[in-house]
Amino acid sequence: MIRIFKRGDAKRKELEALLNQQAAILEKIREENEKLHKKLENAEKRLESAVKLFFPKLYSEKKPSSLEDFITVLVEGLDELRNREYREASTVAVPSLKSIENSQPIVDSEAIRVRLGRLEPVEREILKLVLKGFCTVKSVSEELKVGRNKAEKLLEKLWRIGFLDVLKVKSGSRHRTFRVYFPSPHGEVASEVLLGKPWSMLHSEVLKEKGLYMSNEKLIREAETRLRHAGYRVVTEIEEPSECSFKYSGGSHRADLAVYAIDNRGLEVKVLVECESLSNPISQVRKMLDAYYEVFKKIYLVVSSGLAKKMMIQRVCYWSWRRREIEGLVFEVRVEAVDRLARLSGMSKFIIIRPPSK
């Protein structure tokens, strides 16, 4: 009898263990289902926002209500857009080869390779650092562990021989001016020769290597949370794309966040905020900056880290230099790492000064 009870007790324990195991598996499946459901909801909201913003007529006509509907409307809209562009392109005269060549200088990569070979090893190392976003005398000095005077002389040489361009930037907080270096057209080719990548793709790669990269989606979520904790009313581009959009001569632009603040007069004002992962191509950054310069003459940017701040300032300087404004250019940039984000007024302020082009 005792033996029968022992066997029964062992069987009960085995069944209990199996039951607990199945319960754990069921809980894990439930959690995964919840995550998938949230991702699906987020995808549906983003698709709805995109359709409403870019194809409002189709949205009102089709009245999509599911993910499948939104995809169908989006495909229809893109097909219509492609057909329209094709029709327009067929009626536009093809530009001559000469006009294309005049609009974009061609730099011979083999000639750049030869010029790079003439540089001292430390000069090549500093050029690499600038291309990777270490764009000031201070950051080069600290990263390479050389004196500031030496770093400045080497940067000046790279500028004189045409690998770098430079602009003066005024710090709003400390009321001082410092130089920001960025690649010239020759420097951009040097990036592909030295590092095997286009310059505009380097920044996100460097941030990933250093464990400082954050995706746009994560930056938006964290910036939204921090600004709401600071007392602001915040609307994301996913929730209401029209709140985050504005028009300029090149079309329309949609920011990541619309933040509502109280100004000195006690009135509520809307401030548009961009979250930059530094993974966007420079052409997309140029369009964004063109829009903000034309409409606001300033921009608010949230990035992942202190190094990403330097990279973003470098990109803004690159953009402002390429604009070649006859009357010159003054552009205010408010940029902050997300872990230091609190008040909008407390964001680091920089004034980009582009002299008149000759």
Sorted by where each begins, the domain ranges of the chain are: 2-89, 104-164+185-196, 212-354
Q: For domain 212-354, is the CATH number 2.60.40?
A: no
Share of the chain above pLDDT 90, in %: 58
Question: For 208-237, what is the mean pLDDT?
Answer: 94
CATH architecture, range 104-164+185-196: Orthogonal Bundle (1.10)
Confidence class for position 106, pLDDT limits 50, 70, 90: low
The answer to whether 191 and 131 are in contact (CB under 8 A) is yes
Q: What is the pLDDT of residue 21?
A: 79
Q: Which of 170-174, 231-235, 301-305, 322-326 has the lowest mean pLDDT?
A: 170-174
317 contacts 180 by C-beta, under 8 angstroms: yes
- Average model confidence (pLDDT) across the chain: 85
Does residue 156 register a pLDDT over 50?
A: yes
Q: At what angle do helices 137-144 and 121-131 cross, to 10 degrees?
A: 120
Question: What percentage of the chain reaches a pLDDT higher than 70?
Answer: 86
Q: Is the pLDDT confidence value at 319 over 90?
A: yes
> pLDDT at position 185, please?
93
Residue 7 has pLDDT above 70, yes or no: no
Nearest CA among 308, 233, 320 for reference residue 277 = 308
Beta strand spans in the chain (E):
164-171, 176-183, 233-236, 245-248, 251-254, 257-262, 268-275, 298-303, 329-337, 348-354
Does the fold of domain 212-354 match that of domain 104-164+185-196? Answer: no
Q: Give the C-alpha separation, 230 to 349, whole Å.
A: 19
Q: Widest CA span of the chain, in angstroms?
A: 106
Amino acid 88: pLDDT: 46
Q: How confident is the model at residue 86 (pLDDT cuts 50, 70, 90)?
A: very low
Q: How confident is the model at residue 35 (pLDDT cuts 50, 70, 90)?
A: confident
pLDDT value for 121: 94
